[in-house]
């Protein structure tokens, strides 16, 4: 159990590090892969997000998107705000009594955050992976995601199995709440398929009670 928790923490930290590096270097966004041209949403579309008196967008991130009960709202707020580069990422992070956090974002920060969710979901481009062939985001809000893998390599690679669950559902849920979906209504279905046979290896609906479990 302790080993699995360490792996989960490493993955979450990896995503945060990539986010920081992205903000520092500002590469051109990778062109979306979508044969049906479905990933065409304007990343600045924030019509449903509330804005505070300072003109900052208020985004509530639910507890189940940053480790569930293993992480408190204070933990996650402190992890962001103790980062020396946090001013390049977020304006402020406020812990809430229900375990969620409220992030205050400028339009630029909101746009970069959403772009990062897409970029860090493209494992076959972003990371050095051996079993993951392609990540297909089937719709604008990550409600359906399909991952094509080499079945044998995937089954024997615990770290990449975790990436295909924790990182993907985290990015999907985060992208949705950044787009105005209520924090208790985000959801996604992740389907893992063998690239050669089309066999469905796993299909999982998130959120669920075992979402941080290693499958």
Q: Residue 124 domain-assigned?
A: yes
| 61 within a domain of the structure (yes/no) | yes
Q: Which two tokens stand for residue 102?
A: 């409220």
> Is there a domain that residue 211 lies in?
no
pLDDT at residue 72 in the model: 80
> Which tens digits make up the pLDDT trace of 37-90?
334 444 434 457 999 999 999 999 998 998 766 678 888 777 766 665 544 456
Task: Read off the pLDDT of residues 105-114 as tens digits, 9 standing for 90 and up.
Answer: 999 999 999 9
At residue 122's C-alpha, the angle toward residues 174 and 170, to 5°, is 20
| 173 in a structural domain | yes
| 129 within some domain | yes
Task: For residue 183, give its domain range.
Answer: 2-206
Domain count, the chain: 1
Q: Is residue 214 part of a domain?
A: no
215 belongs to a structural domain: no
In sequence order, the 6+-apart residues with CB closer than 8 A to the CB of 196 are 150, 151
In-domain check, residue 213: no
Q: Each residue of 114-139: pLDDT tens digit? A: 999 999 999 889 888 999 999 999 99
């Amino acid at each position: 159990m302790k080993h699995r928790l360490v792996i989960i923490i490493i993955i979450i930290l990896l995503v945060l590090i990539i986010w920081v590096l992205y903000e520092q270097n500002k590469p051109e966004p990778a062109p979306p892969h979508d044969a049906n041209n479905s990933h065409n949403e304007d990343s600045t579309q924030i019509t449903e997000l509330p804005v505070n008196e300072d003109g900052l967008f208020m985004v509530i991130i639910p507890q189940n998107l940053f480790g569930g009960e293993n992480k408190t709202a204070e933990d996650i707020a402190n992890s962001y705000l103790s980062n020396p580069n946090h001013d390049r990422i977020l304006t402020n992070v406020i812990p809430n009594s229900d375990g969620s956090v409220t992030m205050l974002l400028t339009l630029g920060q909101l746009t970069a955050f959403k772009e990062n969710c897409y970029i860090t979901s493209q494992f076959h481009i972003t990371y050095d992976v051996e079993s993951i062939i392609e990540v297909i985001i089937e719709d604008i809000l990550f409600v359906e995601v399909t991952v094509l893998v080499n079945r044998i390599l995937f089954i024997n690679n615990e770290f990449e199995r975790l990436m295909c669950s924790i990182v993907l559902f985290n990015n999907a849920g985060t992208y949705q709440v950044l787009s105005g979906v209520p924090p208790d209504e985000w959801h996604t279905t992740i389907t893992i398929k063998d690239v050669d046979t089309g066999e469905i290896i796993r299909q999982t609906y998130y959120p669920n009670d075992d979402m941080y479990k290693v499958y």
